[in-house]
Amino acid sequence: MNILNLILAIILPPIGAFLQVGASKHFFINIVLTLLGFLPGVLHAVWLVATNQKG
């Protein structure tokens, strides 16, 4: 788990998700979740970084 990605996933969830998976469906899901509420976006981004998803 990259510590920089984890920090960005907590502070700016879409950026952390983008750095982990690129412009994939998970990135766009994270944007929607972040717009619906900051906490769901953070949880999704941290999950992406923790499980090391690649797209």
40: closest CA among 53, 25, 55, 29?
29
Average pLDDT on 14-22 reads 91
Distance (Å, whole) CA 9 – CA 26: 13
pLDDT tens per residue, range 36-54: 999 999 999 999 999 876 6
Q: Where are the domains of the chain?
A: 3-51
CB-based contacts of 47: which residues, under 8 Å, 6+ apart? none
Q: Is the dihedral of CA 10, 15, 20, 26 positive or negative?
A: positive
Band of pLDDT at residue 34, cut at 50, 70 and 90 = very high
**How far apart, in whole angstroms, are the C-alpha atoms of residue 5 and residue 25?**
18
Q: Taking the model in full, what pTM does it have?
A: 0.87
Local confidence band at 55 (pLDDT 50, 70, 90 cut-offs): low
